[in-house]
Amino acid sequence: MDIVSDTLLYEGKAKKVFATADPGVVRVAYKDDATAFNGLKRGQIQGKGAINNQMSNLLFAYLQEHGVPTHFIEQVSERETLVRKVRIIPVEVVVRNLAAGSFSKRLGVAEGTDLPQALVEFYYKNDELGDPLITDDHAVILGLAEREELEQLRSLALRIDHLLVSKFSDCGLLLVDFKVEFGRTPDGEIVLADEISPDTCRLWDSETRKKLDKDRFRQDLGDVEDAYQEVFARVKLACAQLPREGRSV
């Protein structure tokens, strides 16, 4: 397969997407660029592209093994991966286990408060509008997704949450919340796309509750690179271990 095509199809804030010789496959290249607050804060996190690519691939492979369909095909280098070409559904799906971020701010709930059940939220993926929080009715009326598809996104998101909470717990990490995106394949299948990384998850050390994710960049907490490396090292270790016999996730 020709993976060295240089036809740039799309450049986002953290990744570039290139065509390949196979029209059903694209090559994603992760950048070290970091943005926050819808691009208002800009910077670089050295080594982030390589970490996010490899960590995301380990987690996508793990989710795939446990029945979650994903776009992941094959890692081709530290920073690059081949994935199925999909049309991204413009709905960002956020799952929260503990209060933090915009949930804490909007609803006045102290950061770190346990939620009695996992919360799934939908945001309209639209930078010009600042990715506003939407209801199912908004998504249907705006033509972003059908009602049955939203139900599918919600149940996939909860299954992903369950699997990730378990995997991160093996890493001594608390999964506070995360954002995922889904895409439609040419034959209409909905698959997990984009990435799962410290850019898109809030991850705290289970013991100390130290923040080990992009909040260190957003909030100028320092040690940003160290946090990404620490998380990647722990995930690599947890994903290299054979599943324990009889253990259900």
Contacting positions for ligand TMP (CB under 6 A): 94, 100-103, 131, 177-179, 200-202
User: Please, what is the minimum distance in Å from the beta carbon of residue 105 to ligand TMP?
Assistant: 8
Pairing label, strands 173-184, 41-44: unpaired
User: Please, what is the minimum distance in Å from the beta carbon of residue 88 to ligand TMP?
Assistant: 14
With beta carbons less than 8 A apart as the criterion, state whether 121 and 133 touch. Answer: yes
Residue with smaller CB distance to ligand TMP, 191 or 201: 201
What's the farthest any 2 CA atoms get from each other in the chain? 52
Q: Taking CB positions, which residue lies at the least distance from ligand TMP?
A: 101
User: Please, what is the minimum distance in Å from the beta carbon of residue 39 to ligand TMP?
Assistant: 9
Residue whose tokens read 């960002």:
92
With beta carbons less than 8 A apart as the criterion, state whether 184 and 192 touch. Answer: no
Residue with smaller CB distance to ligand TMP, 11 or 146: 11
Strand partners, 134: 122
| Rounded (10°) CA dihedral 249, 244, 193, 179 | 50
Closest of 148, 216, 78, 16 to residue 139, by C-alpha: 148
User: Please, what is the minimum distance in Å from the beta carbon of residue 100 to ligand TMP?
Assistant: 6
Residue with smaller CB distance to ligand TMP, 102 or 229: 102
Residue with smaller CB distance to ligand TMP, 179 or 216: 179
